[in-house]
Amino acid sequence: MNPKEQLTDSQIIDRVIKGETNLYELIVRRFNPHLYKIGRFYNFNHEDTQDLMQDTFVDAYQHLGHFQNRASFKTWIMRIMLNNCYHKKEKFSYKFEQSGKSINEKIKPLFNTTDNDANKPIHNRELGQFIEVSLQNIPEQYRMVFSLREISGLNVAETSEILQISPSNVKARLSRAKSMLRSQVEKTYSALDLYEFNLIYCDAIVNRVMHAIEQNRQNWNESPTP
The residues spanned by each domain of the chain are 3-94+197-220, 111-190
* pLDDT on residue 61: 94
Residue 8: count of CB within 10 angstroms of its CB: 9
Lowest mean pLDDT among 60-69, 98-107, 189-198: 98-107
CA distance 19 to 118: 47
Integer angstrom CA distances of residue 29 from 23, 57, 210? 10, 10, 11
Asked if residue 144 lies in contact with residue 42, where contact means CB atoms within 8 angstroms, the answer is yes
Higher pLDDT, 97 or 162: 162
Of the pLDDT bands very low, low, confident and very high (cuts 50, 70, 90), residue 77 is very high
**CATH number, domain 3-94+197-220, options 2.30.40.10, 3.40.50.410, 3.90.400.10, 1.10.1740.10:** 1.10.1740.10
Report, as an integer, the average pLDDT of 56-69: 88
* pLDDT on residue 180: 84
* pLDDT on residue 66: 82
Of the pLDDT bands very low, low, confident and very high (cuts 50, 70, 90), residue 130 is low
Q: Is the pLDDT of residue 129 over 70?
A: no
Q: Give pLDDT tens digits for 162-204.
A: 999 999 999 999 999 888 877 766 544 445 555 566 666 788 8
CA distance 92 to 94: 6
Domain with residues 111-190, CATH architecture: Orthogonal Bundle (1.10)
Lowest mean pLDDT among 41-45, 77-81, 97-101, 144-148: 97-101
* pLDDT on residue 125: 56
CA distance 9 to 73: 7
Higher pLDDT, 101 or 4: 4
Closest CA to 61 of 103, 13, 105, 94: 13
Fold match, 3-94+197-220 / 111-190: no
Helices 73-91 and 156-163, axial angle in degrees (round to 10): 40
CA distance 118 to 71: 38
